[in-house]
Amino acid sequence: MAEAGIIDGKAVAARVREQLKGDVAQFVARTGVQPGLATVLVGGDPASEVYVASKRKSSVAAGMADLHQHLPEDATQQEVEGLLRELAASPAVSGILLQLPVPAHLDAASLIELIPFEKDVDGLTTMSVGLLAQGKKGLRPCTPSGVIELLDAYDVPIEGANVVVIGRSELVGRPVAQLLVNRNATVTIAHSRTKDLAGICRSADVIVAAVGVKGLVNADFVKPGAVVIDVGIHRGPDGLSGDVDFAAVSPVASLITPVPGGVGPMTIAMLLANTLRAAELQHTLTG
C-alpha cells in the first residue's frame, strides 16, 4: 500500500514565520509600535526554560521586543499577580505568556485570569475561551491554531468534513474542536470514557489525536484516505513520538503529521502570529 503524504510542519512553520517578519515590519512602519512579548517564567523547570528560551529567540527573530520576566521558584502568589498586573498595564507589552506549569504552591488558574484578553497570546483565559466559543474576534490557543494552519496549508477540506478530535483538554482538544466547528466541520469529541473509540474514529475524514497516550491511534482507527494529525509528544529513549502509531497508520492515511516535525513547530509560529494580532488589537482599542 502507498504511504501517506507527510504534512511538513517545519516547512509550514518556517513560511508562517517568514510572512510574519514582513507583517511585523509593516506594522512597525505603520504604527511606530514594536510588538513585544512578555514571557513569564516562575522557577527553573528545565523543560520550561528550554521552551521559553525558544519563544524568546523566535520573537526576536520576527522583529518583536523580548520582554521576558523571570521570578524565583519561591515567588508568592502576590508577587506573580503583581508582575502580571504591571505587564497588563504596560503599553510596551503586546502579549503576555505565563509559562505553565507554575510551581505547585501557585494558583495557575487565577493567575491566567489576570491577563487581559487582548494580551492573552496563549488564548487560555475565560474571556478568550468565550470569544472562541462565540466565534468572535480574539486570540486563539496556539497549538490548536497550528492544527488548522496545517490543514489549510495542505488544502484539506474542513467545511462539512467529519472530524474526530481525541482529547478534550482546555489546552488542545476543546479549542481545536471549537475552531473546527467554527469552520463548519462536523466534530466529534472523544475522550477516556468514549465507547468504541476505534469505530468512531473510522468514521472520520480527519482525526486529530491529542490524547497523551503514545501510539494509541493505530491502523484500525483510520478510514482509508483519512487525514491524521498527531498532537501528542512523548519523549523516549529513541527520541520523540506521538499519539499515533506512525508506521502502522501511514499506509492507510492520505496525509499524516510526523512527530517530530508536524504540529510541534507550529505552536511557536502561532504564538508569534498571536503576538502580532495582540499588538494590532491593542492599537485598534487604544485608537
Q: What is the 3-state secondary structure (H, E, C) of 41-64?
A: EECCCHHHHHHHHHHHHHHHHCCC
The annotation status of 233 as a binding-site residue, yes or no, is: yes
Of 168, 202, 223, 283, the one binding ligand NAP (CB under 6 A) is 168
Minimum gap (Å) between residue 251 Cβ and ligand NAP:
23
Q: Please list every residue from 91 through 150 that binds ligand NAP, using CB under 6 A.
A: 143
| Alpha-carbon dihedral angle through residues 280, 281, 284, 285, given to the nearest 10 degrees | -150
205 is catalytic: no
19 is catalytic: no
Q: Please list every residue from 209 through 228 that binds ligand NAP, using CB under 6 A.
A: 210-213, 216
99 is catalytic: yes
Minimum gap (Å) between residue 35 Cβ and ligand NAP:
22
The window from 37-45, 76-84, 126-134, 185-193 that contacts ligand NAP (CB under 6 A) reads 185-193
| Alpha-carbon dihedral angle through residues 44, 86, 121, 36, given to the nearest 10 degrees | -90
Of 28, 233, 240, 248, the one binding ligand NAP (CB under 6 A) is 233
Can residue 264 be called a binding residue for ligand NAP (CB under 6 A)? Answer: yes
Minimum gap (Å) between residue 142 Cβ and ligand NAP:
8
Distance CA 20, CA 238 (A): 34
155 φ/ψ sector (left φ>0, alpha ψ -120 to 50, else beta): left
**Strand, helix or coil at 95?**
strand
Omega into 260 within 30° of 0, i.e. cis?
yes
Q: Could you tell me which residues come within 8 angstroms of residue 8 by beta carbon, excluding any fewer than 6 positions away?
A: 261
Binding site for ligand NAP (CB under 6 A): 143, 166-169, 171-173, 190-194, 197, 210-213, 216, 231-233, 263-264, 267
Catalytic positions: 55, 99, 122
Annotated binding residues for NADP(+), written as ranges, equal 167-169, 233
